[in-house]
Structures are given as structure tokens and as C-alpha cells.
């Protein structure tokens, strides 16, 4: 067996002001006919900075579209619209638009520039896109971005709830890897040690300094990006997604009002850390105290009944992912935690 070859970003810029330099980066890479796919309704200053940066370099967009609906059908339509000779795709905005842009670029075989304007989850650099296919969300495999550009000044202006969501998705790497190791011990499932190590190591850098300033946003963006690289290395979302993600996916399917991915995943990670015996529970609880993550949940509490149903559904899900939920019946334990854990007080109604 030779060394693994994986597709990872070749160009990374994570710093304040990076958005206004996209045109410069495009010029350096000799992109003459880029497509711009951006979230609908981005603040004017963001779009102005992007457009001015390209105009200063004399680069006109071959196609410019706003993206609202993260569906396979929208991606297919945009692929059909891409003009001949389009040599790159720039995705700017939130997770939904980026999932579409990344998939369009992947289908077109064009280099993709991933430019998130908030850090609400790790999807901006993951080897799959979450798109609706005939009404159901599916994780569709796609190529990794050629470039990741994160403007930390823009991300610090994003609403705090999006940052909390990023905190939740980030900490879930600890429980995801716990589930992966459980699958190794119980089922003999192979664990890719480097992928597991990469996924969790950068999380601890953020835990050491969990603030919302430029320095911590840089660490958070790096950690979320490395999580995507870890997935690419092992060819699976295993290092980033365990039982906490199964619960969140079940909520997405059944909840009357699903919340941001990382809010659901973060609370589910706290619960599953306790199901695993508590090894990471104090770390997660302290991080959520320090970042005031709990306040974000209490501002709009989850439905207790929906979470118990989602835990049940996640335990019975037909996917081949073995987690603590497949290992034993956890619904009663989750119910007891929701009802009696002081940290969860006010998080459920
Ligand atoms: Zn996630």
C-alpha cells in the first residue's frame, strides 16, 4: 500500500480583508472567466467588496447568480447556465449557497473558491454537498475546494447565533471520534488515525481561546477546514460526524422548525458525551459556558418531545454508521438528562 493521495485545498487565506482581495487571487491564478454564485440577500458592503476587487483586476464574471434554494435541481440548472470556457466558480455566503456552488463546480470540473461569510458549520471545505433531492436532504459526494478564503472581519460581523452554530459543529468532532473508536472496539471498523487526530487536534486550539475576535475566528475557521480535510483523507464523514449528527439529521427530517445545524449538533454532542461515560462532558460544558452557547439555545428552546423522537429515530436509522445509539438503547438516558441536567435547564420545553 502506497501513500494516500487526497484532494485538498491548494490555496488558503484566512484573514481580515480577504474578501476584497478575491479579484487579486483570481488574477494571480489567471482566472479570466469566473462564475460568482452568492447567497441571496448578502449585505451590500460584502457584494460591493467582491465586485470591486474583480473590477480592479479587469475581470468580468462569466455568470453571476444569487442562490437561495440548496437543491440538486438548482445546481443542475446552474450547471446548464455556465458559459463555455468558464474557468472557475466562486461561492460566497452561507452554507446553503456554498453547498450549491461547490456542487456546480464539481460537476463542471472547475476549480472552486469557497468563501464563507460566516462560520456556522464545517461544510465550506467538506468533500460533500448537502442538497435537497426530490424533497429529501442528501449528502452528495463532490470535489474539495481548490481554494478556501475566509475574511475573519466579515465573519465577526455575522450574527452571534451563526458563531454558536460553528462552536457546536466544531465540538462535535470530539464525540464523532468517540463513536468511531467505539465502532472499532465493537465492530472492528477501521479507524484512520491521522484523520481522527487532525479532526480533534485543532478543536483543542479553539477550546484554549474560545473568543469571537479575529484571532479566535482564524483558529475556528482553520479547525472547521481541517475537519473537511480529515473527511477527505479517510473518504468518509466519520471523523466529523457521529451520533450527534444522526440526531440532528433526524431533527431536520421531523422537527416542525429545525434550527441551525451546529446548535442541534452541539447540544446533541453534550448529550452523547454523557452517553459515552462523560470523558468529554466537562470540556464541552465549559466551552458552552465560556462562549455563552447555552444562552443561544435558551433564547429559543428545543422541543423535548421532538428530541426524544429524533433520538429514537436516529437509533433505528438504517444507515451503516455504528454509534453509541446503535450500541445500546439510549432514549431513557437522554430523557433523564433533558429533565434533570442543570446545564440543560431552560434548553427544552
Ligand atoms: Zn456538522
Domains and CATH numbers, the chain: 11-157 (3.40.50.1970), 160-344 (1.20.1090.10)
Q: How far is the CA of 125 from the centre of ligand 1 (A)?
A: 11
Where does the pLDDT of residue 2 fall: very low under 50, low under 70, confident under 90, or very high at 90 and above?
Answer: low
Q: CA neighbours within 13 Å on the CB side: how many for 194?
A: 9
CA distances from 307 to 224, 275, 282 (A): 26, 15, 22
- Secondary structure letter of residue 123 according to DSSP: G
Residues 118 and 103: their CA atoms lie apart, in Å, by 19
Q: Is the pLDDT of residue 153 over 60?
A: yes
Alpha-carbon distance of 347 to 96, in angstroms, equals: 26
CA neighbor of 105 nearest in space, from 63, 59, 133: 63
Cα 83 to averaged position of ligand 1 atoms, centre (Å): 33
**How many angstroms separate the CA atoms of 205 and 326, rounded?**
31
Q: How many CB atoms are closer than 10 A to CB 159?
A: 11
Phi and psi, residue 225, nearest 5°: -65, -45
pLDDT at 107 exceeding the cut of 60: yes
Q: What number is the average pLDDT over the span 112-136?
A: 95
How far is the C-alpha of 106 from the C-alpha of 114, rounded, in Å?
A: 12
* Cα angle: 160, vertex 162, 164; to 5 degrees: 70
> In terms of DSSP H, where are the helices of 57-144?
72-81, 95-108
Tell how far the Cα of 82 is from the centroid of ligand 1, in angstroms: 30
Q: What would the pLDDT profile of 127-146 be if each residue is shown by its tens digit?
A: 999 999 998 889 999 999 99
Q: How far is the CA of 341 from the centre of ligand 1 (A)?
A: 24
261 C-alpha to ligand 1 centroid (Å): 7
Q: Is the pTM of this model over 0.75?
A: yes
- 170 C-alpha vs ligand 1 centroid, how far in Å? 8
Residue 141 pairs in a beta bridge with 128
Is 128 in contact with 142 (CB distance < 8 Å)? yes
Least confident of 70-74, 137-141, 307-311, 345-349: 137-141
C-beta of residue 152 within 8 angstroms of C-beta of residue 119: no
> How far is the C-alpha of 190 from the C-alpha of 193, rounded, in Å?
9
| Distance from the alpha carbon of residue 171 to the mean position of ligand 1, in angstroms | 10
Distance 164 CA to ligand 1 centre (A): 13
* Rounded distance from Cα 262 to ligand 1 centre (Å): 6
What percentage of the chain's residues is helix, strand, coil (to nearest 5)?
Answer: 55, 15, 30
Amino acid at each position: 500500500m502506497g501513500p494516500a493521495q487526497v484532494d485538498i485545498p491548494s490555496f488558503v487565506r484566512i484573514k481580515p480583508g480577504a474578501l476584497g482581495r478575491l479579484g487579486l487571487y483570481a488574477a494571480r491564478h489567471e482566472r479570466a472567466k469566473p462564475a460568482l454564485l452568492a447567497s441571496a440577500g448578502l449585505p451590500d458592503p460584502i457584494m460591493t467588496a467582491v465586485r470591486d476587487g474583480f473590477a480592479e483586476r479587469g475581470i468580468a464574471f462569466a455568470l453571476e447568480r444569487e442562490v437561495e434554494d440548496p437543491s440538486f435541481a438548482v445546481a443542475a440548472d446552474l450547471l446548464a447556465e455556465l458559459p463555455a470556457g468558464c474557468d472557475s466558480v466562486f461561492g460566497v455566503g452561507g452554507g446553503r449557497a456554498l453547498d450549491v456552488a461547490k456542487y456546480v463546480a464539481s460537476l463542471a470540473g472547475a476549480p472552486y473558491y469557497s468563501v464563507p461569510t460566516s462560520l456556522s458549520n464545517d461544510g465550506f471545505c467538506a468533500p460533500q454537498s448537502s442538497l435537497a433531492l426530490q424533497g429529501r436532504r442528501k449528502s452528495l459526494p463532490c470535489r474539495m475546494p481548490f481554494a478556501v478564503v475566509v475574511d475573519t472581519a466579515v465573519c465577526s460581523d455575522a450574527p452571534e447565533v451563526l458563531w454558536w452554530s460553528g462552536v457546536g459543529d466544531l465540538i462535535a468532532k470530539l464525540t464523532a471520534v468517540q463513536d468511531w473508536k467505539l465502532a472499532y472496539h465493537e465492530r472492528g471498523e477501521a479507524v484512520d488515525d491521522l484523520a481522527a487526530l487532525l479532526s480533534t487536534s485543532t478543536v483543542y486550539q479553539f477550546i484554549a481561546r474560545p473568543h469571537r475576535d479575529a484571532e479566535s475566528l482564524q483558529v475556528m475557521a482553520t479547525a472547521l477546514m481541517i475537519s473537511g480535510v480529515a473527511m477527505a483523507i479517510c473518504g468518509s464523514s466519520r471523523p466529523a460526524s457521529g451520533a450527534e449528527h444522526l440526531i440532528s439529521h433526524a431533527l431536520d427530517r421531523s422537527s416542525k422548525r429545525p434550527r441551525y445545524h451546529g446548535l442541534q449538533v452541539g447540544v446533541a454532542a453534550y448529550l452523547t458525551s454523557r452517553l459515552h461515560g462523560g470523558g468529554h462532558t466537562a470540556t464541552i460544558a465549559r466551552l458552552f459556558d465560556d462562549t455563552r452557547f447555552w444562552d443561544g439555545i435558551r433564547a429559543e428552546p428545543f422541543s423535548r418531545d421532538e428530541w426524544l423522537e429524533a433520538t429514537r429515530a436516529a437509533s433505528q436509522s438504517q444507515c451503516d454508521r455504528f454509534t453509541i445509539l446503535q450500541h445500546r438503547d439510549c432514549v431513557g438516558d437522554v430523557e433523564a438528562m433533558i429533565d434533570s441536567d442543570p446545564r440543560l435547564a431552560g434548553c427544552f420545553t
